Structure formats: structure tokens, C-alpha cells
């Protein structure tokens, strides 16, 4: 593997960070999680390769990829796994900023800059650390802070979670939490979801609060009763915020898909909605009701067909103009446990990536484990994860739980694959055992022209071995 060094201007903590020499080694090395790390942290094998494990430059969409690892660094890698640039990120939500809505500035990212200790209902169930976001920031290519939000946020902390986006007007929409009492709820205070629009000075100029729109989400009276009596404060767990963007539906006169409108999805409640930016009203929805599924049978695979049971979804968005499938909805359907009441999902099922016609509400393309020749459960991530359409028709997928990023063709062929080598390590609070976690909340494909000219990258093929013959060498006990 050709070694490419990150820019000398890149910043970041070196905690758990592989050395330059070990980055090259990681390309083909096997991580052995034995005495040093807890194998109980893994649902798969305890020994597996990390870095790029498969790469066909002739069939893949060649690009960079951005993700934040367990080392609290946002890594920009090429498809050979070389970390070509880095930014510090105290959380896991690093996101590229499109130069088209940022004055043409290249290489700018959103990151979490500061966190603080959270208490009680401030905390999101299932999160790795007991911290909440205090300050978020936009960093330029050199790691300089050019915008931040936090000290002027309600309560003096951004409480951002999961997502954010730069708007064409220069403002930024931020998905955040709001802890407050809501009339009719069992919980004395709920962990509500709120969207802030923040100007360049870091001031909130518009907000939308989820609990004020409960009647618009499509719940029946019986379901609303379940929502209000939820056992957890995080009753919706909105995990995604996207700007709808220009699209063919709006061009044809459908005002629901106005480019300025906002799209969110709620993991715990199994719905995806579009919010009218001017009125704050919900103008389009998918879910929370879907055709009944069976826990004993796999979901259907033939397309097109009406949308069937989606559960605990992530990263729903309208495919941007200029890409194959533009105007359709792309979503990572985790098939996790969620819903009011909990939706039936197959016992032995896996996750899915679905492309959906938002007008007909039909699935027009999907990816499952079977698409690549495996069983359904060979592709499974019951939380986190993402999917994006690529210019050549491939789809980029983040199978978040396993820290696996990969590209598939429309026919399901895997043409690039990468396993996150940047583990977050710690200690189990109950057993005291060392722990390791290489999960990835979000990975994003990044086009070559997003970075300053001259940023290096390589495109060397990586051929996967025949797994039926792939063995580790035996260590001899002889002196």
C-alpha cells in the first residue's frame, strides 16, 4: 500500500491513533482482540481484518470518505484506506459542508468541539458516553474554527445530536435536544427534539419543537396514548435532519417538496416526515403505519412494491439532483426494535437500504444481505448507519454497528469495502474488562473536488482472498 501522510496542518488528539507506520500495516493486518480488548464487545469473529478489504477501482466510484473514529478524529481517507487529512471531533457526527452553499469554500466540516457532563433526562439512552454537546463548530481545511454554536444556545449548550446542515442563506440548521415538561406525558420531563436555525453570529433565529406537532405525525389515539406513556424520556429519538433540496417533484408543482423544507426521521417512532419551512407543519409522511409483517418470515424482495415494515430507520433523505434515482427517498432501514407499539420484525432478518418513490410510496430498489449472495442477517445493524447514492449508480453504505463501509452496484456486487480500524477503548463498568468498539455512526462519500487541489489519493486494487482457504499462520511452541 502506498503510504500517504495527512497534511501537516491537520489537528487532532493522538489518543488511540495508529502511527503513520501502523496505518500502512493496518491495510492488511488482522486485529486480534484477546487479552488486550474484550471480545464480548463484538457480535462477529474476534479476529478480522481492518482497513480496505476489497477494492475494484474500475467498478467503484472513486472518492474520499469522511468518518469519525473512536480516536475522536474525523478521518478523510481515500479508498485504499490512507488517512489523507484529519480534524479533531469529540463526538461521532462529523459532516462535510457542501461548497455550493458555503461560498465555494473547500474542505470545511462540522464537528463537535466541546462536550459536558449530562444528567438525568439530558442523556440519550444507549449512547456511549454520559456527555452532552456543549459547542459545535465549522472547521476549515487547516482546522481553524470559522463558526461555532453553543454559548448563545438555550441553556448555554448546543445539545446538538446526530445531524446538522448549512443552508443556502448562510445559516445552519441544527438538530438538538430540549429537556422540558410536556403536558400529558408520563415522564415529568421529556428529552424532546428541536430544530434550531442559527445565523453566522451563533444566534437562534427560528426553531421547531417536535412535541408541538404530535397530532401531525400520523399516530392513532391509541398510539398517542402509548407515546405519552413511554417509559423513556427520549420518546421519538429523531436521528436525522436533511434539507429537501431541489427536486423534480417541486419542479412539477408539488409544494410539499419545496427545496427549503426539512426532512427528519424518528427512530423510536418509525416515521419519516417533511416539515414545511414556512409554517412548521408536517406536509408529507411515511409511517408510522406499514403493511403488517411477520416475525417468522423474511420481508419481500421483489420490486417495485408498496413500502412494507420499516423499523428504527436512519439517514432518510431525498436523492439530490444529478444522481441516479434523483428525487426518490433513500433510507437505511435498520429493522431494529421500535414503534408504538413495537413493530414486528423478522426474527432472523437483517437490515435493508431502500430507495422509495415518495409519491407512490413504493420501493423501487433495495439492498439486503441476499443482494450480495449472503443470508439476510449477513447485513445487519439495528442502530446507527447510513446510505448514499453515488454518481455512477453505486450506493455507499455504512453498516454502523460493525464499523463497515462499503459500495455496492445496483445489482448488489460489493466493489469496495473498509472496516474501521480506529477503535474506541474503555473499561466495562460492571466487570472491569477492557472494551473495544469500532462502530461508525456515519460515513460519507466525499468527491475529489471537495478538497483543495493537490490533495493526494491512491486507487490501487485490493483483491479479497478466498475465505474458505484464508488461514492465520500457526505459532510454533518449539524453542
Got the DSSP string for 313-338? Answer: -EEEEEPPTTSTTTTSEEEEE---S-
Q: What's the structural domain count of the chain?
A: 1
Q: Is 362 helix (H, G, I), strand (E, B) or coil?
A: strand
Say which DSSP state 41 is in: G
Nearest to 128 by CA among 13, 188, 41, 250: 41
pLDDT number for residue 353: 98
Buried b (16+ CB within 10 A) or exposed e, 411-443: ebebbbbbbbbbbbbbeeeeeeeebbbbbbbbb
Residue in the structure block whose three cell numbers are 481515500: 78
Distance CA 76, CA 279 (A): 38
Q: Judge whether 262 and 282 are in contact, CB under 8 Å.
A: no
Q: Is 389 helix (H, G, I), strand (E, B) or coil?
A: strand
Q: Does 217 fall in a domain?
A: no
Q: Judge whether 360 and 327 are in contact, CB under 8 Å.
A: no
Q: Does 302 fall in a domain?
A: no
Distance CA 343, CA 232 (A): 17
Each residue's pLDDT expressed in tens, for the chain with a length of 479 residues? 333 333 333 333 334 444 443 344 344 344 344 333 433 345 678 899 999 999 999 999 999 999 999 999 999 999 999 999 999 999 999 999 999 999 999 999 999 999 988 765 555 544 445 689 999 999 999 999 999 999 999 999 999 999 999 999 999 999 999 999 999 999 999 999 999 999 999 999 999 999 999 999 999 999 999 999 999 999 999 999 999 999 999 999 999 999 999 999 999 999 999 999 999 999 999 999 998 777 777 788 999 999 999 999 999 999 999 999 999 999 999 999 999 999 999 988 899 999 999 999 999 999 999 999 999 999 999 999 999 999 999 999 999 999 999 999 999 999 999 999 999 999 998 999 999 999 999 999 999 999 999 999 999 999 999 999 999 999 888 77
Q: Does 428 fall in a domain?
A: yes
Q: Does 432 fall in a domain?
A: yes
Q: Does 105 fall in a domain?
A: no
Q: Judge whether 388 and 396 are in contact, CB under 8 Å.
A: yes
Nearest to 34 by CA among 467, 384, 472: 472
CA distance readout (Å), 138 to 5, 53, 150, 409 = 23, 32, 12, 33
**Which structural domain, as residue segments, surrounds residue 25?**
1-59+404-438+442-467
Q: What is the DSSP string of 443-475?
A: EEEE-GGGSPTT-------BPPP-TTT--PPPP
pLDDT number for residue 30: 45
Burial of 72 (0-12, 13-18, 19+ CB in 10 A): buried
Q: Does 174 fall in a domain?
A: no
Q: Judge whether 332 and 351 are in contact, CB under 8 Å.
A: yes
Q: Is 249 helix (H, G, I), strand (E, B) or coil?
A: helix
Q: What is the DSSP string of 366-381?
A: EE-GGGGTS-GGGS--
Q: Does 117 fall in a domain?
A: no
Distance CA 304, CA 272 (A): 20
Q: Does 142 fall in a domain?
A: no
Buried b (16+ CB within 10 A) or exposed e, 120-144: ebbbbeeeeeebbbbbbbbbbbebe
pLDDT number for residue 119: 65
pLDDT number for residue 348: 86
Instruction: Compute and round to an integer the Cα radius of gyration of the chain.
Output: 22
Whether the upstream peptide bond of residue 288 has omega within 30° of 0, thus cis, is yes
Contacts of 49 (CB under 8 A, 6+ apart): 28, 29, 30, 31, 419
Amino acid at each position: 500500500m502506498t503510504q500517504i501522510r495527512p497534511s501537516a496542518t491537520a489537528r487532532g488528539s493522538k489518543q488511540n491513533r495508529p502511527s503513520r507506520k501502523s496505518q500502512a500495516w493496518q491495510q492488511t493486518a488482522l486485529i486480534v482482540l484477546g487479552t488486550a480488548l474484550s471480545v464480548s464487545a463484538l457480535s462477529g469473529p474476534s479476529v478480522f481484518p481492518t482497513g480496505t478489504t476489497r477494492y475494484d477501482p474500475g467498478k467503484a466510484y472513486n472518492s474520499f470518505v469522511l468518518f469519525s473514529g473512536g480516536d475522536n478524529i474525523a478521518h478523510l481517507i481515500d479508498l485504499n484506506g490512507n488517512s489523507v487529512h484529519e480534524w479533531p471531533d469529540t463526538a461521532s457526527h462529523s459532516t462535510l459542508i457542501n461548497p455550493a452553499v458555503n461560498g465555494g469554500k473547500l474542505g470545511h466540516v462540522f464537528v463537535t468541539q466541546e462536550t459536558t457532563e449530562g444528567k438525568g433526562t439530558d442523556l440519550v439512552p444507549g449512547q456511549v458516553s454520559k456527555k452532552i454537546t456543549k459547542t459545535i463548530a465549522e472547521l476549515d481545511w487547516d482546522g481553524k474554527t470559522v463558526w461555532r454554536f453553543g454559548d448563545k444556545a438555550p441553556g448555554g449548550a448546543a445539545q446538538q445530536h446526530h445531524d446538522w446542515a448549512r443552508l443556502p442563506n448562510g445559516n445552519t440548521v441544527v438538530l438538538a435536544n430540549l429537556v422540558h415538561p410536556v403536558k400529558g406525558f408520563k415522564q415529568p420531563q421529556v428529552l424532546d427534539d428541536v430544530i434550531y436555525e442559527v445565523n453566522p453570529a451563533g444566534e437562534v433565529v427560528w426553531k421547531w419543537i417536535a412535541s408541538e406537532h404530535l397530532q401531525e405525525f400520523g399516530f392513532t389515539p391509541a398510539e398517542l396514548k402509548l407515546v405519552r406513556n413511554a417509559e423513556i424520556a427520549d420518546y421519538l429519538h429523531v436521528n436525522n435532519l436533511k434539507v429537501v433540496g431541489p427536486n423534480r417533484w417541486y419542479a412539477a408543482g408539488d409544494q410539499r417538496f419545496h427545496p427549503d423544507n426539512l426532512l427528519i426521521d424518528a427512530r423510536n417512532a418509525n416515521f419519516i416526515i417533511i416539515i414545511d419551512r414556512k409554517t412548521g407543519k408536517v406536509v408529507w409522511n411515511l409511517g408510522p403505519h406499514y403493511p403488517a409483517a411477520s416475525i417468522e418470515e423474511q420481508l419481500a424482495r421483489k420490486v417495485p412494491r408498496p413500502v412494507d415494515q420499516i423499523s428504527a430507520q436512519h439517514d432518510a433523505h431525498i436523492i439530490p439532483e444529478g444522481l441516479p434515482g434523483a428525487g426518490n427517498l433513500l433510507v437505511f432501514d435498520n429493522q431494529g426494535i421500535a414503534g408504538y407499539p413495537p413493530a414486528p420484525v423478522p426474527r432472523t432478518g437483517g437490515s435493508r437500504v431502500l430507495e422509495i418513490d415518495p409519491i407512490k410510496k413504493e420501493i423501487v430498489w433495495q439492498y439486503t444481505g441476499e443482494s450480495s449472495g449472503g443470508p439476510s442477517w449477513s447485513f445487519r445493524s439495528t442502530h446507527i448507519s447510513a446510505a448514499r447514492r453515488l454518481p455512477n449508480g453505486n450506493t455507499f453504505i455504512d453498516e454502523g454497528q460493525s464499523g463497515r463501509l462499503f459500495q455496492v452496484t445496483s445489482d448488489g456486487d460489493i466493489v469496495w469495502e473498509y472496516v474501521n480500524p480506529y477503535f474506541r477503548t474503555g473499561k466495562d463498568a460492571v466487570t472491569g474488562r477492557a472494551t473495544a468498539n469500532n462502530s461508525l455512526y456515519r460515513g460519507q462519500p466525499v468527491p475529489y473536488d471537495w478538497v483543495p487541489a493537490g490533495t493526494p489519493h491512491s486507487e490501487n486494487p485490493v483483491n479479497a482472498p478466498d475465505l474458505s482457504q484464508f488461514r492465520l499462520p500457526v505459532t510454533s511452541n518449539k524453542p
